[in-house]
Amino acid sequence: MRHARALSLALLFTSSLVACSASSDREDSPVDTGVADTAVADTGSAIDSTVKDSGSADTGASDSGAADGGTADSGGAADTTSADTSPTDTGTADTGTADTGATDTGTADTGTADTGPADTTPADTAPTDTGAADTTVADSGVDASDTSTEAATFGSAPTCDGTVASGEYGSHVEGQNQYTSASQSWFLTWDDTNLYVAVANANVAEGAVLYLDKSPLSPPTSGSDTSGNLAGQVYDGAGFSSLGLRADLVVYVKDGYREYRTANGTGGWSAAVANTWGCFAKNGTTRELAIPWSAIGGRPASFAFFAYLVSGTGFVYGEAPTALPQGSVGTTATANAYFLVGNSAPGGSKPFATALP
């Protein structure tokens, strides 16, 4: 009935039309074979088995677990641990920690994320870069290869534990950071916070004394009392009433007690500041101490110093420099020898390099 009506309508309005034939049910698009993508079809790999792609098609490797949130993998293996957030890896998949700051250019980081500029040659293994890019070798402190591209810095601070480890105070060479007087050895170094001193092979129950001039004059005994003291402090019955420099600080330290005093501007010494400062540690016949520069207003740009050991009965030994008096010196001796540190900046003077006069 419907068929016959259509034919009659065609004949009615135009005789040249070819009659439409009858049609069967319409065909749909190709049949789904697994799980449909919601936005973009996969073009190169297997069907996603866990999570559907939401933004971009994978072109290199299939996702293994977690979907990338922002950037499609373009070349390497699939990420296995953490999704990259920015920027895109171009060569090798990260295995441990996602980069947050700089793009890897060739070698994957294995342990530590870079936070500064990108490495251009070898990968750092430790420690983390914080400032300048390496150009030839990985950072591990300060070494000869780095001096042309990195500013000099203070080395690692000694550990105040009563033991002097190899290289702990810098160059353990006589006349550098080490000075041996008879059978006692002194070690000295510093940073912006502390002056670090160690004495080896000395009875830690006996005192070690150090005088320091934070503003060496020329000649060193010139100037006035406002520049420091020309007379020392008596410890254990031994003292130097005449110093070869204008001292601003004297330190006395032994097992169980330590003090420092500062010049009072009129030729005398302050009351003792005892036990509350810095650090003291001993182990056997070795002692280590840290003297805070804050005791004299901060690290001086240059300084002069001398030091000695003293028994409980006033016997001076282990004196540094060795030109100082030793033995039972009494309380009116003259200490006219010292070391001059002309430049205390990183990479500057070594503490025991210049003994004067």
Comparing CB distances to Ca ion, the nearer of 79 and 210 is 210
Give least dist CB 216 to Ca ion, A: 7
What is the distance, to the nearest Å, from the Cα of residue 307 to the centroid of all Cα atoms in its chain? 31
Closer of 134 and 248 to Ca ion (Cβ): 248
Instruction: Name beta bridge partners: 240.
Output: 333
Segment contacting Ca ion (CB under 5 A): 102-110, 156-164, 270-278, 347-355? Answer: 156-164
- Rule CB under 5 A: choose which of 92, 97, 159, 176 binds Ca ion: 159
Cα(238)–Cα(232) distance, integer angstroms: 10
- Cβ-based nearer residue to Ca ion, 51 or 301: 301
* Residue among 94, 191, 213, 259 that touches Ca ion (CB under 5 A): 213
Closest to 309 (Cα-Cα) out of 200, 239, 207: 207
Q: Which is nearer to Ca ion, 238 or 243 (CB)?
A: 243
The piece of 75-83, 124-132, 214-222, 254-262 that touches Ca ion (CB under 5 A) is 214-222
Part in contact with Ca ion (CB under 5 A); list of ranges 67-75, 222-230, 306-314, 346-354: 222-230
**Cβ atoms within 10 A of the Cβ of 216, count?**
21
Q: Which is nearer to Ca ion, 124 or 254 (CB)?
A: 254
- Using CB under 5 A as the binding rule, the residues of this chain from 12 to 71 that contact Ca ion are none
Least distance in Å: CB of 156 to Ca ion? 11
* Beta carbon nearer to Ca ion, 50 or 285: 285
Instruction: Say how far apart CA 91 and CA 61 lie, in whole Å.
Output: 13
> Is residue 228 left, alpha or beta, with left meaning phi > 0 and alpha meaning psi from -120 to 50?
left
Question: Of all residues in this chain, which one has the CB nearest to Ca ion in the complex?
Answer: 228
Contact between 215 and Ca ion (CB under 5 A)? yes
Q: Which is nearer to Ca ion, 53 or 248 (CB)?
A: 248
Do 212 and 226 touch, CB atoms closer than 8 A?
A: no
- Please report, as a single letter, which amino acid is at residue 27: E
Question: How near is the Cβ of 159 to Ca ion at its closest, in Å?
Answer: 4
CB of 143 to Ca ion, least distance (A): 21
Q: What would the x/- binding string for Ca ion be over residues 324 to 353, using CB under 5 A? A: ------------------------------
Shortest separation between residue 353's beta carbon and Ca ion, angstroms: 20
Of positions 170, 207, 220, 228, contacts Ca ion by CB under 5 A = 228
Residue with Cβ nearer Ca ion (246 or 282): 246
Binding of Ca ion at residue 221 (CB under 5 A)?
no
Report strand pairing: 240-243 vs 333-335.
parallel
Of the candidate residues 37, 161, 225, 236, the single one contacting Ca ion (CB under 5 A): 161
237-256 residues near Ca ion, rule: CB under 5 A? 246, 248
Minimum separation from the CB atom of position 211 to Ca ion (A): 10
**CB-nearer residue toward Ca ion: 150 or 225:** 225
Residue 287 lies near Ca ion (rule: CB under 5 A): no
The size of the interface with Ca ion (CB under 5 A), counted in residues, is 9
Q: Which residues bind Ca ion (CB under 5 A)?
A: 159, 161, 163, 213, 215, 227-228, 246, 248
